Structure 1
Amino acid sequence: MIKLGVIILSGEADFQNLELSSTGEIEFLEINNNDFSIVQTIDGVIIVDEHQQSISKSCGLITQLRNHPKLLIWMYGKEISEVNRLIYLQLGVDGNITEKEKQELFLIVRNTVSRIKQNKKENKELHLFKLHKKNQSVLTAEGKEISLTNLEFKALNHLCQQPGQALSYSELSQGIWGENIEQYRPRLANVIFHIREKLEQEPYNFHVIKTVRSIGYMFVPPV
C-alpha cells in the first residue's frame, strides 16, 4: 500500500475515484498544512492548488517539505503554466500533475514509490548477515561467500541463534563439541579468533562477535 498525503490550498481534488485508489494500491490522506507530523509515516505529498491561486503558499510548503529529504512531492492543479512548473521543479518537487494527466501521472507516482520501496528493501536485505548451512559459509553484505571450517560454522551458528545475548564459554563448548571438553576455553578462543579473522575483512561484518568479559561471547548483527 502506497500512502500519499494531500494538502489542499485551493479547490478540491477527488483522488479517491482514481483506478489506483479503488484497487487499494494508493491510499490518500488529507493533511493540515500546519501539521507535518504525519510526513514520517507516508511516502509522498500532493500539494493541491487547483486554480493556481496560492503560488506563494505552494512555494513555502515545498520549501518546508524539502526538509524531509526522503519525502516525494508533487504539485497538482487543473492547469499549471510553464513558468509555474519550472518554479516548482526548481524548488524541488518531483513532478507536476494536471487534470488531464491525472490518471497517467498517478501511474508514474505509483511506479516511482514502488521502485524506491523495492530499493530500500533490497538495501536492507543486502546488509543482513546470512549463514549458508549447506556450504558451511557466510554470505556477506556484498554477496561474497566466506567458507568456514566445521567447528567455525558450529560456533557462529550457535551464536547467531541468540543475537545480542552473551553465551558462556560452557554453552558454546556444548554447542560445538557436544560436551565440556578439557581446556575448552583456549580451544574455543582459537575457533573464535579464526572466525573473526575471516569475517572482519568485510566492513559490514566488523566486530560481529563481541567478547563479554568473564562470561563468553556475543553475536552482534551487522547494520
Structure 2
Amino acid sequence: MGRILIVEDDIEISMLERDYLEINGFEADIISDGSIAVQTALSGEYDLILLDLMLPGCNGYEICRELRDRIDIPILMVTARSESVDKIRGLGLGADDYIAKPFDPAELVARIKSHLNRYERLKGALKGGTAAVDDAIIIGDLKILPRSWKVYKGDEEIRLPNREFELLKFLAENADLVFSKEQLFEKIWGYEYVGDSATVTVHINRIREKIEEDPSKPHIIETVWGAGYRLNRQN
C-alpha cells in the first residue's frame, strides 16, 4: 500500500504508529534524530512522512521547510503542540495535515490513506495528461499549465506543492469569481480532510509569496473582505 517514514523521538509513540501502519498493510521505518531525517526522506523510498515537531538535532519545522522545497509527497505533522499558531505555522511551511497527540491510531491510519489516495489521483491525472495539448492559463506574466502541473512567472518556473497548485488552478479556471474560504476548502480538500477553512488562508498566503510582486498588496489573488477570495483576470 505504501512506505511511510516515521520521524519521531518518542519510542512508544513511534512503535505504536508503526504497528498500526503495518497491520493495515503499510511498510514503515522509524528515525528518531531530526538531523538525518532530511537525507533519509530525500532517498525517494517513501510515499508519505509522519513528522514530529520536537526532535533532537533539528526540529520538525526546519525539516518540513527543507523537504517541501524538494519533494511533493504528503507530510503529516504529529505533535503534542495543538495551539492554532503551531498548526498555521506548520501548514504555512507546506505540511499537508496536522495531527495532535494524543491521537486515535485508527484515525491516523485513515488520514494517511486519504492523503495517499489523493496524491495517487493527482499523479494519475498528471501522467494521463502528458500526451495531450496543455492549454495554458495566462494571467499577466503568470502562466499556468494544468496538464503539466507547472507554473511560470515570466520565464521562471515556480514550484508549488500539490494543494497550492490545485488551489491556484481552480481560482484561475474560475477567474473573476469570488469564493468563500469554506467553498475553497470543500473544493480542494474535500469532506474527508479533518481541518478547517483557516487552512485556505495559509495556502493563499503561500501562493501570494510566490506569484505576487508585493504579497502584502496582492493584485492577482484579491481578498474580498467579508466574502472570500477572487483571482483577477486583469491585474
Q: TM-score, normalised by structure 2?
A: 0.45
- Larger gyration radius, structure 1 or structure 2: 1
